[in-house]
Structure 1
Amino acid sequence: MSIPTNPVPEGARVGYFTTSDKVRLRYALWPKTEGPQRGTVCLVQGRTEYIEKYFETIADFRKRGFAVATFDWRGQGGSDRLIGNPHVGYVDRFEDYWTDLRCFHAEILLPDCPPPFYLVGHSMGGLASLIATTRDRMMFDRVFLSAPMVGLHGLDHSLHRWAAVAETISFMGLGHLPLKRKGDRRPDESMYPDNPLTSDMLRYKRMVETIRADDGLYVGSPSFRWLGAAIRAMLETRQDRFPGEIRIPLLILAAARERIVSTPAIEQLGLRLRTGRHMVIASSRHEMFMEADPVRGQVLAAFDAFITEQSR
């Protein structure tokens, strides 16, 4: 999807691949545009997101000498939707996202992209990335996460209770039902003043215009099945053993003005890491790559220090 305010970066190769459990996922690849060849950034998105949302960030990575590879998770973007209502976020198990990433690495990254590989994950994609680092430490050389979903804002002390509720509803055969929340309605310009995503009006408007141009990209409320699966994955990161299972250099950024995931939970995990560290980005809301230029500049500077300057 290309619109005047969000054109497709030149040089895109777009296609589909099929996971080992027969789910069809949309992907896109771009070569670098400037500088020495530094490898490939594998960019994985948050819940409800899609490839088009990251066109500006993809261009930033390419200018630094990186090829970029990205895909839409199952159940969102241009990939297969998994239940009858395509606008409800759903996954059977959070482990299924590991299947998506592992198959993308094997089917697309390894044969078609220049190494080394660097994993960049946001929000839900950040949680999936954390779990991936404990499954296979050889897939990526470094991992850079923005606002990973290791907790939910305001719910740090009730995650077990919410998991039990979601799992009970799913056990009753109602896991596909949406957990309806006001903030999950289709975005429009009227929602900007109190939005939790970005303080940048033009970038927020660009998100609105992209969804308006292709409603098929829209995902709203999460299902109860998704919620139960996601919370269990969040709780896994709080196990005593978890930080020691991460053996890849890792940098986590948290947002100081966060209202979606839990910044305290990110900080607690960051303090327990053995091969990584964390930073809190002042003035940032949840979507750091979509933030105003002063905030976004801090994020890209952190990326440069941790990945660009360390790449070959």
Structure 2
Amino acid sequence: MDPASAPLFDDVAGGPPGGAAWWLRASDRVRIRIGCWRPEGAARGTVLLFPGRTEYVEKYGAAAADLAARGFATLAVDWRGQGLADRLLDDPRPGYIGHFPDYQRDVAAVVEAATRLDLPKPLFLLAHSMGGCIGLRALIEGAPVQACAFTGPMWGIRMPILLRPAAYGAAYIGPLLGLGGRLMPSTKPDNYVEMQAFDGNALTTDPGMYAMMQAQLSAHPDLGLGGPSVNWMRASLNEMADLARRPAPALPCVTFLGTCESIVSAEAIRDRMAGWPGGHLDMVEGARHEVMMEGPEIRAQVFDRIAALFSQSGGTGS
């Protein structure tokens, strides 16, 4: 079945002209949303952009513009349970997943849609945070991409040692007590950027990009998502532990890690990249968790590096 047209909030996306969105059905009939932007003229290929937890297609309009300026089309996705995709609980605010590999159903639908929409080949992967966890699994299982890039990938979660027993206890005991849909202790049902002022935020040092995120959710509250559920935490911990035991794929890769990262585990990222054949870890001085949402200088550095890798790996245009 061909993808059906879906809303794309151009008023806040800031993507290249001519963007469009579609609904997809994963193999278990969960509805997800994709958004696509193309560059002017011949394209070097299409970047499958895998967002993080709480994120949505429009948040990456600016990234799509950066990629389009370098000759690449972008296909971003609203994962199940977030953005405009089907929410998986009666209460739409907690981030929820039943089993982490369910996200691979979404990946399969995205890859199929790239073919049905006749998007420029070859395909590349750019994945952020939770999308980095989903993306790594997809690569290990043979996703048809030529090269990959990650920003702040969730290959481990940064967690103070004193909080780990309580967090692990909630994550593994909660579902047994029928509490899997509840928010993790100390988290809230509102989106992070709605609650957190720019000062002290863990995402970006750029006030303009932070204001953009806040404006997007203010204009379109349905895009927002709150803290992780107990079941999401259990599922993600299991997935990260399993992935840590698996070898990296033999695929050209660059991973960006801000020197001020405070959300995901820098140690897990360093360990993974130390064993990645042909992989490179790029430390971004002064950046926080979302290097694609930093100031113009850092963004230019990051997207130039990504475009160079993808061009060297088959994205030379036609």
Task: Name the TM-score, length of structure 1 as normaliser.
Answer: 0.91
Alignment of 1:134-173 (within 5 A): 134-137=140-143, 139-155=144-160, 162-163=167-168, 165-173=170-178
Residues 73 and 6 from structure 1, CA distance in 2 versus in 1: closer, same or farther, beyond 3 angstroms?
closer
Distance 2:114 2:150 in 1: 19
Identity percentage of aligned residues: 30
CA contact (8 A) 2:15 2:64 kept: no
Task: Give the corresponding residue for 1:294.
Answer: 297
> What is the number of residues matched between the two proteins?
306
Secondary structure at the counterpart of residue 120 of structure 1: strand
Residue by residue over 1:143-187, the C-alpha shift from the partner in whole angstroms, topping out at 9 and shown as x without a partner, is 111110011123589879844541221122110000143577442
Letter paired with 1:181: S
Structure 2 gap segments, 5+ residues each: 1-7
Task: Give the corresponding residue for 1:197.
Answer: 203
Letter paired with 1:179: M
CA contact (8 A) 2:187 2:228 kept: no
Task: Give the corresponding residue for 2:80.
Answer: 74
CA contact (8 A) 1:178 1:223 kept: yes
CA contact (8 A) 1:200 1:291 kept: yes
Residue by residue over 1:18-38, the C-alpha shift from the partner in whole angstroms, topping out at 9 and shown as x without a partner, is 00001001111222225x421
Q: Residue 32 of structure 1 is aligned with which of 28, 39, 45?
A: 39
CA contact (8 A) 1:122 1:148 kept: yes
Q: How far is the alpha carbon of 1:223 from its aligned partner?
A: 0.3
1:266 aligns with 2:272: no
1:252 aligns with 2:250: no
Q: Residue 211 of structure 1 is aligned with which of 217, 238, 242?
A: 217
CA contact (8 A) 1:29 1:68 kept: yes
Alignment of 1:229-244 (within 5 A): 229-239=235-245, 242-244=246-248
Report which stretch shifted further, 70-79 or 162-171: 162-171
CA contact (8 A) 1:162 1:228 kept: no
1:55 aligns with 2:61: yes
Q: How far is the alpha carbon of 1:67 from its aligned partner?
A: 1.6
Secondary structure at the counterpart of residue 244 of structure 2: coil
Distance 1:184 1:53 in 2: 20
Residues 110 and 163 from structure 1, CA distance in 2 versus in 1: closer, same or farther, beyond 3 angstroms?
farther
Secondary structure at the counterpart of residue 300 of structure 2: helix
Task: Give the corresponding residue for 2:30.
Answer: 23
Q: How far is the alpha carbon of 1:133 from its aligned partner?
A: 0.9
CA contact (8 A) 1:257 1:285 kept: yes
Letter paired with 2:63: T
CA contact (8 A) 1:281 1:298 kept: no
Distance 2:121 2:177 in 1: 46
Structure 1 gap segments, 5+ residues each: none
1:65 aligns with 2:68: no
Task: Name the TM-score, length of structure 2 as normaliser.
Answer: 0.89
Secondary structure at the counterpart of residue 32 of structure 2: strand
Q: How far is the alpha carbon of 1:238 from its aligned partner?
A: 2.1
Distance 2:24 2:180 in 1: 27
Q: Residue 282 of structure 1 is aligned with which of 282, 285, 295?
A: 285
Residues 163 and 203 from structure 1, CA distance in 2 versus in 1: closer, same or farther, beyond 3 angstroms?
same
Distance 2:294 2:227 in 1: 23
Task: Give the corresponding residue for 1:305.
Answer: 308
1:117 aligns with 2:123: yes
